[in-house]
Each structure stands twice: as structure tokens, then as C-alpha cells.
Structure 1
Amino acid sequence: MWSKKFLLLLLLPLLFGYWSSAQQVFTLQQAIDTAIANYGIIKAKANYTAASKELVSQARREYLPNVNFGAQQDYGTINGQNGPLYGFGGLNTAAAGPALDRQNWNAAFGSLYLTNVNWDFFAFGRAKEKIKTALAAATQNDKDWQQEIFKHKIKVAATYLNLVAAHQLTRSYQDNLNRADTIRKVVRTRVLNGLIAGVDSSQANAEYSSARIALTKAIDFEQEQSNQLAQLLGIPPREFLVDTSYVTRIPVIPDTTATLDNHPVLQWYKSRIALSNEQSRYYKTLYFPAFSLVGLVQTRGSGFGNNYALDQHDFTQSYWDGVKPTRTNYLFGLGVTWNISQPFRISKQVKSQNFTSKGLQNEYELADQQIRAQLSLADVKIKNALDNYREVPTQVKAASDAYLQKSVLYKNGLTNLVDVQQALYALIRAQTDRDIAYSNVWQALLLKAAAAGDFSIFEY
């Protein structure tokens, strides 16, 4: 009974350590989710999309009639004068009073209360086209956001694979350093025993230093990839424990023909063309007049009496008598406004927008051509990467056997150190090719996913 409890107590720390280690692995999916949530450009474009959607609502509300309420209470004189007057820039006041033969300074309170409704109820589809233009702008921003997410997924996945490969290369160069250290110890023992010349010890030390430099360079490259991944994730740089299964297996290559109909990048180019065309249609509606309905109710009050023109004492400075409404008017009307010179100006803007649409179409065709070329290249790279992957096991096994043979022969004094070092070079090169070959297959598949516009191909 106690032995079982004691055994359980011994196993608990091991199980807890294994669980903690497993929890620390930072998977590719976690990296992608973190990047989408944190990366600044993606968050910015999400806000741009939200802003453009609000503009759609604003465009819909612009069709509503204008309803203005106004109220004012004033105090001043009402001297009038016969003669024409035009208020340039609104720099004029209204004084409704008789044209007397001299200036006077009689002043009283006055008031104005009004409600005005003005509605452009028909303008040959201008409001509808404005809404469509706002919708096209919102669609463009949304497509831009989606293609940014897609491209960032590709960037994060590529950098993650580079980090995994860099991590494996670091392990390979660490193994190489251990082998160089083992050889150095064997050489030192044989030199101390007088079995070989001392120059072998110098050569072994030089090889060990070379292995340390190679390991340092590998560590530096791994740290660089880790830093780049942190930047793409939008988080402070830190050390990542990556999923090394990408260098122990190759992906399942989907046997499907990719279609580009839903490619996020091409969808964005199409949305730009659609927005330009909608803008052109909206500009054309400015050729035509606008029909308006107007309604107005106005109430006024004044401290001046109706006999003031004959009797300049017929006024009161009482505040309430001046601001109290005493006269009311209403007005309803139907009108049309048309700037007949507008079509001559707008026609050039429409032509300019049409040329812009053609330019955007040219950009779309170029992007489509480049993506199709990239898709063809991806298939070639997958084939070449798989060919190299199939050759790697043979290379690694041959290099491992050669190194084992040379090291055993050297320990028994049947070969020299140069042969051992050559075998060591061949082994580290084979291991490096192995690590890169696995990574290249994944990178080639990622290139195909990027060209096809379908990230699920990489997750197949």
C-alpha cells in the first residue's frame, strides 16, 4: 500500500513536468490566431471596414428630408432705407422697418421662431447611386481587410516554418559540436599516450572551434527568426517552443486543381474596379436637376407697433411684449434646381473615372497573371521538394555510416584525423539537407496555398 503511494508521489512531478512542457508548445494555429488578434495593420483595416459600413448608413439617411428648427430673440433698432442690397457672404443684417427721413435710436425686442422642411425627393437616382457607391467602398475595405488577413497568415506560417527549420539546424549543429568534442577528447588522450603526433590535437581543437562558430551562427539565425515571428504576431520578442513535427513528417499534398475565383487578393482588385464604376455612375446623376419639396412655418414677435411709421413713439422696450409671437406665416412649395453648366464640368470627371476603372482593370489582369504563374511555380517546387525529400534518407544514412566507420578506424589507429573530419563534414551537410528538405516541402505547399488563395490547402 505504502509502496504504491510512494511510487505515485515519484511519478507526479514527472507527469506535471510533461504536462507543463506540452502546454508550452506554441503551435502554428496559435501563432496565426495571435497575429490576427494583435497585428496593427489588421486591426487598422478592421476599423476602416467598420468606418465604411457606418458611411453606408449615413448615405441612406441623407435621403431623409432636412428638418430645421430655429429660434432667436433680439434687441435693436429698425431703421430702414430704400435701395438695393445684396448680402455677399452673409455679411448683412435684416432690419424690417420704415424708411424714415432721419436716423433714430429707438430699440425694442423682437423674435423669430420657425420650422423648415426641405426634401430633394427626386434627383434621377442620385441618392440611390450614392448609397451604392458607399456600399462599394465598404465592400472594398472589407476585401482589403480579408486579403490582408490572408497574406498575413502566409507570412506568419512561412516565418514559423523558418523558425522550426532554424531550431532543427541549431540541434544538428549542437550534435555536430558534441561529435567534434568527442573527437577532440579522443585525440587528446592518444596524444597524451604518445600514440599520435601533437599536431592532431591542434587540428581537433580547430575543428571544435569551427563547430562552436557554426552553432553560434545557427543560434543567431534562430533568434532572428524568432524576433521576426514576434513582430508579425504583434507581441514583444520572446523565445518560442515551436512544433517540431514539421521536420519529422511531410504534409499530405492535395490532388485538386486550384481555382482563383475566390482568391482574396483578386477579390480585392475586383472590388476596386466595382467602386470606380459605381463612382462613375454616381457622377453621371449630377448631370440632372433635383426636384424639391419645401415647407415652412414661421412665427414672429416685435416690440414695435403697427403705427410706428407714423408715430415713432409706438414701441415698447418690454422683453415679453417683444418676444411674444404675434404673427404667423406658412409656406409650401415645389421647386427644381439645375445648374445647366454642371454637365460640362462633370463630364470630364466621368471620363477621368472611366480611365481610372480601366487602369484598375489592367492592375487586376497583371495580378491575375502573376498569381497564375506563382501557382504553376508552386507545383514545380512541390515536385522538386518531394524529390529531395526522398533522397535525404539515403544521404543521411550513408554519411552516418561513413562517419561511424572513420571514427572507429581512427580510434584503432587505422586512419588519420583528416578522413574523420571529412566524414564529419559530410554528416553535418547531410543532416542540414535533411532539415531543409522537410521544411522545403511545407514551404512549397504554403506557396501553393498562397497562389491558390486558399489557406486550407496548407492545413489539408
Structure 2
Amino acid sequence: MIGNKRWLILLLLAGVFATPAKAQQVLTLKDAIQTAVNNYGTIKAKSSYAAASKTSVEQAKRDYLPNLNVSAQQNYGTINGQNGPLYGFGGLGVASSGAAMPDQNWNAAFGSLYLTNINWDFFAFGRAKEKIKTAQAVADRDSKDWHQEIFQHEVKVAAAYLNLVAAQKLTLSYQKNLSRADTFRQVVVTRVKNGLSAGVDSSQANAEVSSAKIALTRAIDFEQTQSNLLAQLMGVPPASFSLDTFFVSRVPAFLNDTTDVQNHPLMQWYKSRIALSDEQSKYYKTFSYPVFSLVGVLQTRGSGFEQGYGPLKSDAYTQGYWDGVKPTRTNYLIGVGVTWNLTQPLRIAKQVRAQKQISTGLQAEYDLTGQQLRAQLQLSDTKIANALDNYREVPAQVKAASDAYLQKSVLYRNGLTNLVDVTQALYVLIRAETDRDIAYSNVWQALLLKASASGDFNLFQKEL
């Protein structure tokens, strides 16, 4: 029984002290891209612009609805009238009307006006329809701009991620180099103390250690710069990222299929800009034509002044509120009219011509972008071939350099070579390890370039 209790206590203590430390969460490339798409300010802004443009389409459709106005007013005042011309500049004239009295008087009563008005431009040679199409073209342009921004940002984040992976590998290589240099310095110092090597060798060994420290500091600085850039692109505070480096150690599958750059998100955005400009030209042209309108008015009035009010019966009015505001007379009006500014076509013709010239300029930008993407696509195939050649070559380079360094260091320990040969072998090994770290990253960078040029980011992402 005592033994069982002892084992139970040991198990409890093991559970307490064996709790593993919380490891830093690995940031995968897919997570980095998703975080960047969700957080980056420019993408969020263009998403809002696209949503606003989509709402403007609905607003353009509702602009075709007739104007329906309802008005009611109740007033108190005099109605002195006078024969003579009157023009209300700026709408400041008061519409008081009544019998022309021989003298000014201050007889006042209540009056009212109740009005319903409908006004509808029911035909304008397709103006409303073209306005809706123009709004739809704006919405399509902003949507395409949003999607191409997402695509471009995905490429930027992937490139920054690969650069940070390469930077971290370089830092590890330079840490190993510092460890090698420090270990070899101890060998040199021991030989110098034992009189087996010249004293200058220890000074040179110390210099190599200092050089290795400086190289490591530079590598760390470069890694921190790339980490900061990745954090900016992700829209998160700068931090030390633990990255997924497994996929970099293998070669992705490269597709040699011909890709049509016309489907590239950037090309689609340029194309939507041309379509918008063309729709604006059509919309502007409709302003050259007349507008047919339908109008309807229903008006009811009330007045505290009686029918016989005038010079001979100036007391025929009442100051009662209800007597003045209750409706007593009603009129209606229905009409059809046409409005045409005959000089408008002269102005619109130049505006339409200017818009067509803008379309020509946008077409030139579209063609230029296509040329650049096709050239970039061709360049990506060349870079892929070169990156694969280097990827296949670096293992042999690293092995040969490592063997040479090992040989020179063993020979030095046995007094069969000098420190210069060992240092030279160390430089060759450092360069080989650096080439290896960069070559692995360049293979994926070449694939990313191909995905960027083809407009298909899934070409890169599916290999992760």
C-alpha cells in the first residue's frame, strides 16, 4: 500500500513538472496571406469602394422614378393688391393677391394651400438607361480593382514570406559559421600556446571570429527588416515570426501550360476602365436630346377673405382660424411637356469626344500591361529553369566545400598546412551554404513570379 502511494505521488509530481513550455505558434504562408487579406488597409478601403459603387447602381435605378411632392401651408397676413409689373429677383417676391384697393389697409385673415405635385421625365432617349449602365460599369470597375488588389497583395505577402524564410536560414548559417570560427580559434590558441603555430595565427583567428560576428549581425538585421515588412503587409504589429520552412525544402511542380494573360486580374481591371469610359461616352451623348416630361398638380386652397371683398365691401373677411384654413376651392392640372436646350449638343459633342480620347488612352495602357505581363511570363520560365539548375547543383557545392574545410582544418591541427588555407576553405564553405539557402528560396520565388505573371495565384498556393 505504501508503495502504491509513493508511485501516485511521483506521478502527480511528474504531471506538474513535465508540463511543456508553450511553443511559439508556427505561421504558415496560407495563414499569413489570409491575415493580410483581412487586415490590410488598402484592401479594406477598396472593398468599401466596391460596396458603395454597387449601392450607387440601385440609386441610379431609382432616379428614374417620378418626383412626387406634397406641400401644405397655413398663413396669416394681408392681401393688398396693386396693378403694375412685379418680378421677384432671387425668389424673394411675396405672392400676395387680392382686389386693388384705393388705400393701404391692414385687414388680415388666415389662408391655406394644400398641394400635391408629380413630375416625371418619362422619355429622354435612353438617358436613364445609360445612367444605370454607367453606374453598373463603375461598380464593375471598383469590384475588379478590389480583386486585383487582393491578388497583388497575395503575391507581395508570399514574396515577403519567402524572403523571411531565406533570411532566417541565412541567420542560422551564419550562426553555425560563428560557432565554427570560435571552435577553430580555440584550436589555434591551443597550438600557439604549445608553440606549434606562430603567434600571428591567434590574431588572425580572432579576426575571423569578429568577422563572423559582424556577418551574423548583418544577417540578423536583414531578417528583422524582412520580418517587419511581412508584419506591415499582414497589417499586424511587428513580431518575431516562426515560419513553416518544410515546403521550401522540396521542389514544387512547375506547369508549362500556355497561360492567357487576358484573364489576369490586372488586365480585367484595365478592361473594366475602358468599358466604363465607353459607357460614359454613351451617357453623355443622351444629353444632346430633348426630355419629355409628364406633370400633374392637385391644389386645394382656403381663405378668410370672402368673395365680395373689395373697395366697396372692405369688411367682407373674417379672422377666424378655421374659416381661413379649411379647404374651399380645388384645382387640378395634367400636362405633357418637352424641354430641349438647342445649344446643348454643341457642348456635349466636345465632352463625348474628350471621353473617347480617354478611352483610347486607357486602351493603350491595357495593351502595354498585356505586353509587360507576357514578357514577365516568359521571364518566369527562364528563372524557373535557372533556379532548378542551381537547386540541383548546390548539394554538390556544399558537400565539396564542407569536405575541403574539414580536410584543411585536420591538416592544420597536424601542422601540415597554414591558417590561410583553412580560412580560404572556410570562406568557400560560407559561400556554398549561402548559395544553398538562397537557391531553395529562389525555386519558390520563380514559381511565385510565374503565378504573378499568369494571374493565377492558385498555381503557387496549391503547392504549399
Q: Shorter-chain TM-score: which interval?
A: over 0.9
Deviations 1:211-258 (A, max 9, x none): 000000000000000001111111111111111124422211123221
* 1:394 CA displacement: 1.0
Query: What corresponds to 1:114 in structure 2?
Result: 115
* 1:13 CA displacement: 7.7
- The secondary structure found in structure 1 opposite 2:262 is coil
Correspondence 1:256 to 2:286: no
User: 2:269 & 2:16 partners in 1: Cα distance?
Assistant: 54
Do the aligned partners of 1:122 and 1:290 also contact (CA within 8 Å) in 2?
A: yes
Do the aligned partners of 1:291 and 1:336 also contact (CA within 8 Å) in 2?
A: yes
Query: What corresponds to 2:429 in structure 1?
Result: 427
Query: What corresponds to 2:284 in structure 1?
Result: 283
CA separation of 1:118 and 1:359: change in aligned 2, threshold 3 A:
same
- The secondary structure found in structure 1 opposite 2:318 is coil
List gaps (5 residues or longer) in structure 1: none
Moved more, 220-229 or 5-14: 5-14
Query: What corresponds to 2:36 in structure 1?
Result: 35
User: 2:180 & 2:200 partners in 1: Cα distance?
Assistant: 19
Query: What corresponds to 1:359 in structure 2?
Result: 361
User: 2:339 & 2:33 partners in 1: Cα distance?
Assistant: 56
Moved more, 231-240 or 165-174: 231-240
User: 1:360 & 1:83 partners in 2: Cα distance?
Assistant: 61
Do the aligned partners of 2:448 and 2:460 also contact (CA within 8 Å) in 1?
A: yes
Identity in percent: 69
TM-score w.r.t. length of structure 1: 0.95
* 1:164 CA displacement: 0.4
User: 2:241 & 2:304 partners in 1: Cα distance?
Assistant: 83
Correspondence 1:418 to 2:417: no
* 1:28 CA displacement: 0.7
- The secondary structure found in structure 1 opposite 2:149 is helix
Work out the number of aligned pairs and report it: 457
Query: What corresponds to 2:335 in structure 1?
Result: 333
Correspondence 1:101 to 2:102: yes
Counterparts of residues 67-78 of structure 1 (less than 5 Å):
67-78=68-79
Query: What corresponds to 1:296 in structure 2?
Result: 297
Counterparts of residues 334-413 of structure 1 (less than 5 Å):
334-413=336-415
CA separation of 1:231 and 1:285: change in aligned 2, threshold 3 A:
same
Moved segments of 4+, more than 6 Å: 1-9, 11-15
CA separation of 1:50 and 1:113: change in aligned 2, threshold 3 A:
same
Query: What corresponds to 2:132 in structure 1?
Result: 131
Query: What corresponds to 2:454 in structure 1?
Result: 452
CA separation of 1:268 and 1:297: change in aligned 2, threshold 3 A:
same
TM-score w.r.t. length of structure 2: 0.94
Moved more, 441-450 or 321-330: 321-330
Counterparts of residues 134-149 of structure 1 (less than 5 Å):
134-149=135-150
List gaps (5 residues or longer) in structure 2: none
Query: What corresponds to 2:239 in structure 1?
Result: 238
Do the aligned partners of 1:247 and 1:435 also contact (CA within 8 Å) in 2?
A: no
CA separation of 1:24 and 1:300: change in aligned 2, threshold 3 A:
same
- The secondary structure found in structure 2 opposite 1:457 is helix
- The secondary structure found in structure 1 opposite 2:298 is strand
Do the aligned partners of 2:262 and 2:370 also contact (CA within 8 Å) in 1?
A: no
Moved more, 158-167 or 337-346: 337-346
Do the aligned partners of 1:110 and 1:301 also contact (CA within 8 Å) in 2?
A: yes
Query: What corresponds to 1:308 in structure 2?
Result: 309
Query: What corresponds to 1:324 in structure 2?
Result: 326
CA separation of 1:455 and 1:174: change in aligned 2, threshold 3 A:
same
Do the aligned partners of 1:165 and 1:247 also contact (CA within 8 Å) in 2?
A: no
User: 1:371 & 1:412 partners in 2: Cα distance?
Assistant: 60
CA separation of 1:342 and 1:5: change in aligned 2, threshold 3 A:
farther
- The secondary structure found in structure 1 opposite 2:118 is strand
Do the aligned partners of 2:248 and 2:444 also contact (CA within 8 Å) in 1?
A: no
Q: Alignment RMSD, CA only? A: 1.9
Query: What corresponds to 1:53 in structure 2?
Result: 54
User: 1:438 & 1:379 partners in 2: Cα distance?
Assistant: 17
Do the aligned partners of 2:49 and 2:142 also contact (CA within 8 Å) in 1?
A: yes
User: 2:17 & 2:387 partners in 1: Cα distance?
Assistant: 43
CA separation of 1:179 and 1:12: change in aligned 2, threshold 3 A:
farther
- The secondary structure found in structure 2 opposite 1:252 is coil
* 1:4 CA displacement: 11
- The secondary structure found in structure 2 opposite 1:394 is helix
